A and B are shown apart, each in its own frame.
Chain A
Amino acid sequence: MVGIVGYGSYLPRYRIKTSTIAEQWGDNADSIENGLMLTEKTVPGRDEDTVTISVAAAKNALARAGIDPKLIGAVYIGSESHPYAVKPSGTILIDALGIGPEVHVADFEFACKAGSEAMFVAYSHVKSGNMDYAMGIGADTSQGAPGDALEYSAAAGGSAFIFGKENVIADVIATYSYTSDTADFWRRDLQMYPRHGGRFTGEPAYFKHVLNAAQVTMEKANMKAQDFKYAIFHMPNGRFPLKAGKTLGFTDAQMKDGWIVNLMGNTYSGSSITGFSSVLDILKPGERVLLVSFGSGAGSDGFVFEATDQITKVQDKAPKLRDMLENNRIYLSYGQYVAYRKKILFND
């Protein structure tokens, strides 16, 4: 069966606390923390971008897969913060990791779901017999305008997944996508920050797509909420994924291990799939996972995975997500944060 043969993630070490941002703008930190259910978020270092985050995540995925990088037939990076407007992120990554030159490479963009989109296409290549291995990556150094609600959540990180047919650690049982033109969140060309429709990002956008995708994905797999050990939904804040899960009949116990947004923030293309990565770190053979992404604009990809006996052999071969999330953190002041994110103008 076709499935994941290797996975890996990377989170930068830098963090800013919700209370630090609230203090800057005169907001009530307690009310923001409770409202968004966010305590802190990751911030990329000054020498980090979507490419370096993708390379670090993909390196961990290769370590777990234990395959010759040259066997990978396709690499797709999903992100809304590719460092170049014209010049692929993927070409830099393949040359850094010794993949190719016989490889199909493309950069994807679909707000927060570009990562699961990359996985979807990589999986389809292997399933069709086009190639033996394909890699899908989602990574972002997302932007939030100063003083905007997004500034509390827009974070940095990413995950990479290699799909194959041999030594599979998690079979893909079902996939499904649900998409419509919905103007809930966007960023025009050459603009530094995105804009969003406020409350319109909720019911007509996030919940409509996530709930429809989750329901049909489960129907396609002929499964109900109680058939899953874990469920992960895109995490734009802490509250939305928990509400979506409860609506679908999932319990807190099924959601808590993949719900990493309180300490990570929203890593956009790397959000739900990094929650999935943290669950793969602890998944046992036979256990099933529902993963549903969401990208504004808008759409959701649904996946059902089932762990094989192989999974426990690879979990310790690369750093685990919880270690990256909870250890070696370096906290920034608001001043350092705006300098790191280049939110202030510097002289040439």
Chain B
Amino acid sequence: MANSQRYTREIPHRFRFEGQKFRDGYVTLANRYISPESGSKEFESINISKKGKILSYTIIRTPANDYKLLSPYAVAIIETSDGARLTAMVTDSKFEDIKIGADVELVFRKIKEEGHSGIINYGYKAVIIL
């Protein structure tokens, strides 16, 4: 998220999980107009589930400057219960609870602040369900 225009444009999927379900069954949160599975252009807009499981994860100890204060933190690839795959930071969770297959809930959090005077970027992060 680089500027206020992009922040505003990405609100439907970052805030509200508005994604697409294609006729071939492919579900995506990232905006797509063509299914990578079949090339189908027929889709309906759906609200992606905020519950899912961790497919894979890593612990970031040398972060980019914007995320320095959050370090160390985990980033996970998550599959939602309706089959969409997404990448999210894991928050409010102990590293020992972050496992492949762990149940997560996606919550609304601050992702980063653009310096002291820029836009505050909000979006989703994952919390492990204990």
Contact = CB atoms under 8 A, between A and B. Distances in A.
- Pick the most buried of B11, B69, B110: most chain A CB atoms within 10 A of its CB: B110
B16 to A, nearest CB: 6
Contacts of B15: 92, 95-96
Contacts of B115: 348
B41 interface: no
A97 B18 CA distance: 12
B11 A47 contact: no
A98 B125 contact: no
A286 interface: no
B108 A45 contact: no
B61 interface: no
Given A47-B111, A328-B130, A83 B120 contact: yes
B110 A48 contact: yes
A21 interface: no
B70 interface: yes
Interface stretch (A50-58, A108-116, A225-233, A304-312): A50-58
Given A96-B15, A98-B16, A348-B115, A48 B109 contact: yes
B92 interface: yes
Contacts, number: 50
A52 B108 contact: yes
A337 B99 CA distance: 27
Interface in A323-348: 328, 330, 339, 346, 348
Given A45-B91, A328-B130, A52 B69 contact: no
What size tier do the contact residues of chain A reach? 20 to 34
A98 B92 CA distance: 25
B49 to A, nearest CB: 14
A281 interface: no
B107 interface: yes
Contacts of B109: 45, 47-48, 52
B122 interface: yes
Contacts of A348: 115
A317 to B, nearest CB: 16
Contacts of A45: 91-92, 109
A13 interface: yes
B35 to A, nearest CB: 25
A46 B70 contact: yes
B110 to A, nearest CB: 5
A84 B7 CA distance: 15
Interface in A35-64: 45-49, 51-52, 55-56, 59
A285 B107 CA distance: 33
A149 to B, nearest CB: 28
Contacts of B91: 45, 47
A142 to B, nearest CB: 17
A84 B125 contact: no
Given A13-B92, A51-B122, A98-B16, A56 B108 contact: yes
Top 3 nearest A-B pairs by Cβ distance?
Answer: A47-B109, A96-B15, A55-B108
Interface of A: 12-13, 45-49, 51-52, 55-56, 59, 83-84, 92, 95-98, 328, 330, 339, 346, 348
